[in-house]
Amino acid sequence: MLTIATGNKAVAAAVKQVSPEVIAAYPITPQTEIVEQIAEYVTNGELKSQYIPVESEHSAMAACIGASITGARTFTATSSHGLLYMHEMVNWAAGGRLPIVMANVNRALGPGWNIWAEHTDSMQERDTGWLQVYVSTVQEAYDTTLMAFRIAEHNDVLLPVMVNLDGFSLSHINQSLETVDLGDFIPPLRLPHAIDVKNPRGYGPLTGPEDYFKFRWDIERSMRDSVKVIESIENEFFRRFGRSYGFTDDYQCEDADVVVVSMGTLGKEAEVSIDLLRKEGIKAGSMRIRWLRPFPKLDLKGRDVVVIDRDYSFGYGGILAEAVRSTCRAEPYSVIAGLGGQEVTYDDIAGFIRGRRPGEESWFGVTPDV
């Protein structure tokens, strides 16, 4: 069915179709619309889920953990300081190998108090063992949420998945949305280590040095195995529903001399700048990173690279730029732009590409010549 929806309502629509058994919810701007819409579905009988309005984000993840370990399919959503408040439980969810799906609406961290888009909130959780995917359109938010359940619950993965969408610039933007008839695309969840009252066991007990590292390696092994699972499920989604996705979303990269790398809605804005530059005779391309964890293998050899980071690791650099540098052995021109919802237009991005200085870093709006 074709309709118009915001990014938040697209996520809620996907959750309604998947019908998790337990949804734990706490509101926070700009995510609130997701859990409000889900609450409306539950209230009017369109969604037969146990909806738990908890007292905090920490409790929201704790409730999902408690439900998930019984073998229930679970979902929650959060943003910014709410995600940070979850941090302890975010680690427990991954360590417990629980296939929880969470939507995170990316928002800047205070102080100063800011409710607009930035990726630093989810970037601070990138090393917890969660798979992370970043979307750029309403349609992609819906499709990716559907696929996230399949990926998380696959026996070769069994890790939680965080679906990230930019605050306001996607969460509250109306775009066309085509929903699908899921059929049997998402099978029943069969958690192999679910609590069994007939076979009691301990979960998360004290683990000594002789065994602890084995559990951490098992998360990494599953993260590596998730690459083939993601590819397989995205391919199946394409065969069934006709929309194709990958680890990156490449635009005119085949013959590009310079590639701009970004995430989220900036990746879509970059595509307009590529069209502009092509008319000027500059062979530019755009590569939007979708999956941050597991991080994709990038083919950028022999090209100039411009990386736009909507985040920063103080004393270190743009997080995405450093990832590109380490995996591609490239020396990108690192641009820090869009923090706290700072407006970045396609003209601005075209300017980054024209004025690129490989190996250097610039902050948009701070460095005079950017």
pLDDT given for residue 1 in this prediction: 86
pLDDT given for residue 264 in this prediction: 98
Domain at 249-363, CATH class: alpha beta
Domain ranges of the chain: 2-241, 249-363
Q: Is 110 exposed, middle or buried (0-12, 13-18, 19+ CB in 10 A)?
A: exposed
- Residue 338 CA to its chain's centroid (Å): 17
Contact 271, 242 (CB under 8 A): no
Q: Does 368 sit behind a cis peptide bond, omega within 30 degrees of 0 on the bond before it?
A: no
Does the domain at 2-241 match CATH 3.40.50.970? Answer given as yes
The pTM of the whole model exceeds 0.95 = yes
Going by C-alpha positions, the residue among 357, 351, 312 that lies closest to residue 332 is 357
Going by C-alpha positions, the residue among 3, 43, 5, 1 that lies closest to residue 23 is 43
Distance CA 74, CA 176 (A): 27
Opening angle at CA 137, ends 121 and 56, nearest 5: 35
Residues of the chain with pLDDT under 70: 367-370
Containing 335, the helix (H) or strand (E) segment is strand 333-336
- Domain 2-241 and domain 249-363, same fold? Reply is yes
pLDDT given for residue 368 in this prediction: 63
pLDDT given for residue 370 in this prediction: 47
Distance CA 187, CA 248 (A): 27
pLDDT digits (tens, 9 = 90+) for 85-97: 999 999 999 999 9
pLDDT given for residue 367 in this prediction: 59
